[in-house]
Structure 1
Amino acid sequence: MKQSIDLTTAPINQALLLFALPTLGSSILQSANGSIDTIWIGQLLGEYALAATTNGNLVMFLLTAFVFGFGMASTILIGQAFGRRDIETARTIAGTTVGTFVPLSIVVAVIGWLLAPPKVLALLGTPETIEPLARAFLQVTFLAMPAILMQTILMMALRGSGDAVTPPLIFMGMAVLLDIVLNPPFFILGWGPLPALGIAGSALATAVANYISLAAMLYYIYHRDLPLRLRGRELWLLVPDRKLLKLIFVKGLPMGIQMIVVSSSMLTMMRLVNREGVDTTAAFGATQQLWTYVQMPAMALGAAVSAMAAQNIGAGKWDRVSSITRIGTIYAVLMTGALVGLLLVADRQALQIFLGAESPAIAIGQHIGQIATWGGSSRSA
């Protein structure tokens, strides 16, 4: 399949922006999944349920962040292979990555369903008033992890091959649309023969939506016969290659650890926030949703810079790599700064989306946002 943009020859300004925008779109869609859950829960079930999801979502972010580091390593290695026009090596890298993380994600789901929620929630200092809700949400959400993690891995692998448009925008959009349709009428409130599942129903809707989206993505990869697809004897490439796996871990572990350190600091913060009561926890959860969108441009540009630089390194065009990094940084600062300004001006209106117009948590959320937004944006930029 021919790439729409040749990342080794196209003008850097144009190519980086065109490559980053679909990635930004996919990030928005991916986060919209969680935001939609938060909106429905906050509006339909109230602050107690929203506080419960805040605790659960943070645990899920920790797991996804760890996998993100190894996904980025695969993106870089696949990009370098494509830069050398070495499709076989790219397929081997993709096979090793998928073959490693499919069983790992299943193990995480099983352990999470059976053992993790009570211990994790106790570690977070989750208030007793919301612990049953948080446990129900977290337990069902663990069942969605294989689909969520595999979609992340596949999208990053395709991004390394130069396809940053179709998988993110179509399949994440599909997951979001399904989540919107399934959440309130079918699973949260119940419909027809379906019982009202409340907060667990929101997590179940997310799981169903992501498994359907993953199946559609796999169909697309094979129906379009994309370069990274594996057929026949190539399926043996799903058996991890030890040398490649070691290389992926060597490159991915620092990025994964970095994400875990950030996530772990958030876990510590969550424990402190939980001490302040349910309204503060709900406010913190709403502001977290807003911060996610503020940081997205920098994260999308970072992923685009990594993929673009990898292909240029693979092609031996080192002179372009520093320019790619410089231009990406400028774009990130400008976009993030604009979003921070907008959020500071319209913070109350933004918080009402998640909390409702009369929620006592809104004033707390405004206070949190005014203190923390600039710090969060400077880290992402």
Structure 2
Amino acid sequence: MHPTRLQQLIRLALPTALQNMLVSVLGMSDVFMVTALGAAAVAAIGISAKLHFVLIMIMAGLGTAISILVAQHHGRGNHKAAQGILSLGVLSGLALLVPFALVFLFAPELLLGLLTQDENLIRYASGYLRITIPLLFLTHVIICYESALRARSETVAPLVLATVAIVLNIALNYLLIYGIGPFPQLGVTGVAVASVIARTVQLLLFLVYLAMRRHPLRLTSLYQTRQLMRPYLKSYRSAAAPLTVNFTLWGFGTFIYHGIASHVGTEALASLSLISPIEGMYHALFFGFVTACSVLIGQNLGRNNFDEAELLARRFTLFAPIASVLFGLLLFLLKPVYLPLLLDPTDSLYRLCEQLLFVVCFTSWIKTLNMVLIIGILRAGGDNKYVLATDMIAMWLLGIPASFVAAFVFELGYVWVYAMVLVEEFAKATLSFRRAKKRIWLRNLTEDDAAGLEAEAA
């Protein structure tokens, strides 16, 4: 890779990868700090986190639309476009989250009852969901800001602010779960309270940082230039609608996978809750590079540098899965070092987690390939409707039915049920690779917005 491209890649990818890995560390702390409270507490954190994950997928869909459009406009040289696009993303997401917040407030038990009959689990998780309602809105605004900044190649500030919030969150977890010093002993509730406090601090730091730098995305600037939203409404709606549907249905699909685990048994659900943060850390590393891929390709598409965009796509498609295989092998070889620190090796849960970890380490390369093809390439060029169709076919027609049949028809062990997600991943890789080769994604999405701005000026 050319030295300049490599420098751009590292500058964009490394902060994002580090931030996502820190988020995974936070997820691990949420789960592992409550292991002493029993399997029901661990499972409650896991199932609550999965419900939040479904809603974060809505936020991610809107944030990805922001990132795609801002990256291409930034590459074109239209630096003010980020203001209108960011405002659209923030406002539309806050409106979408209101009905979900009402369900969390008034009927979390009904929602959780669809997944488990364990009364202790439902009690723990219901309290967690009610307390973390503000977390939904805080997280959405932060995701939107981070998406816009990264698309403008600004990655260090989101990393620094996230690091402060995550360190604060982990410290508060420890103090509030077990009641250290003057702090009350809140158990599972302590995880929820710590998360809300940390996210509030993170957003306040974001707003102060942008205001002090007189950044074009500071809050007063967004308010004063809210009329800029109109020229970008059509392109944002066109990008955000399929992305939000895609991310939401995919998020619900992962929730169904979680539901299948809960019906297999509380131990299966607890093992999934324990392994998910480790798997998340694995993917966080590569998600940073995929995000960099998307930004670099998007900026080149905005400049009409289609040959450069295609060259980047080919190289990411080749090297990312190879790196994933090597990292998976390293993670597996180090398993005897870190897994006993998290669980008692004599516990039956340890053996199940060990088996799930084997699947993660030796099959995640296919997930990495899909991240490059879907997030880094196809979505960067706005090919969102095809990605939506691919995800729906792979997950809802293949992956989820395969897991269901393995669990309830053949009654296989949970490790085999867990591995059935590979049916979805291989189908997705086949469909996405064929689409990428057709070069339909080599498109400049800023041209319609430029026409809209000219019409506004006229």
* TM-score bracket for the superposition, by shorter chain length: 0.7 to 0.9
> Do the aligned partners of 1:188 and 1:197 also contact (CA within 8 Å) in 2?
yes
Q: Which residue of 1 aligns with 2:23?
A: 30
Alignment partner of 1:79 is 2:71: yes
The residue matched to 1:124 in structure 2 has which SS?
Answer: coil
Q: Which residues in structure 2 correspond to 1:43-62 (within 5 Å)?
A: 44-62=36-54
> Do the aligned partners of 1:286 and 1:355 also contact (CA within 8 Å) in 2?
no
Q: Distance in 1 between matches of 2:117 and 2:312?
A: 44
Q: Could you tell me the TM-score, scaled by structure 1's length?
A: 0.88
> Do the aligned partners of 1:298 and 1:332 also contact (CA within 8 Å) in 2?
yes
Alignment partner of 1:150 is 2:144: no
> Do the aligned partners of 2:25 and 2:281 also contact (CA within 8 Å) in 1?
no
* Structure 1 counterpart of 2:124, one-letter code: L
> Do the aligned partners of 2:177 and 2:186 also contact (CA within 8 Å) in 1?
yes
* Structure 2 counterpart of 1:220, one-letter code: Y
Distance 1:70 1:162, change over 3 A: same
Distance 1:75 1:178, change over 3 A: same
> Do the aligned partners of 2:13 and 2:289 also contact (CA within 8 Å) in 1?
yes
Q: Distance in 1 between matches of 2:161 and 2:117?
A: 34
> Do the aligned partners of 2:173 and 2:191 also contact (CA within 8 Å) in 1?
yes
Q: Distance in 2 between matches of 1:276 and 1:117?
A: 22
Q: Distance in 2 between matches of 1:111 and 1:159?
A: 32
Q: Which residue of 1 aligns with 2:455?
A: none
Q: Which residue of 2 aligns with 1:210?
A: 199
Residue-by-residue CA offset, 1:175-225 (whole Å, 9 max, x unaligned): 11101221122x212245543211011111011011101100111111112
Q: Distance in 1 between matches of 2:204 and 2:27?
A: 20
> Do the aligned partners of 2:70 and 2:82 also contact (CA within 8 Å) in 1?
yes
CA RMSD of aligned residues (A): 2.4
Q: Which residue of 1 aligns with 2:189?
A: 200
Distance 1:281 1:35, change over 3 A: same
> Do the aligned partners of 1:109 and 1:146 also contact (CA within 8 Å) in 2?
no
Shift of 1:268: 1.7
Q: 1:265 aligns with which of 253, 258, 265?
A: 253
Q: Distance in 1 between matches of 2:11 and 2:91?
A: 31
> Do the aligned partners of 2:34 and 2:188 also contact (CA within 8 Å) in 1?
yes
Q: Which residues in structure 2 correspond to 1:49-198 (within 5 Å)?
A: 49-105=41-97, 107=98, 110-125=101-116, 127-167=118-158, 169-185=159-175, 187-191=176-180, 194-198=183-187
Q: Distance in 2 between matches of 1:360 and 1:30?
A: 28
Shift of 1:32: 2.2
Q: Distance in 1 between matches of 2:88 and 2:346?
A: 51
What is the aligned-residue identity percentage? 24
Listed as ranges, the gaps of 5+ residues in structure 1 are 1-8
Deviates further, 286-295 or 296-305: 296-305
- Greater length-normalized contact order (CA 8 Å, ≥ 6 residues apart): 1
Listed as ranges, the gaps of 5+ residues in structure 2 are 370-458
Shift of 1:34: 1.6
Q: Which residues in structure 2 correspond to 1:296-375 (within 5 Å)?
A: 296-375=284-363
The residue matched to 1:130 in structure 2 has which SS?
Answer: helix
* Structure 2 counterpart of 1:72, one-letter code: T
Higher gyration radius (CA): 2
Q: Could you tell me the TM-score, scaled by structure 2's length?
A: 0.74
How many residue pairs get aligned? The number is 368
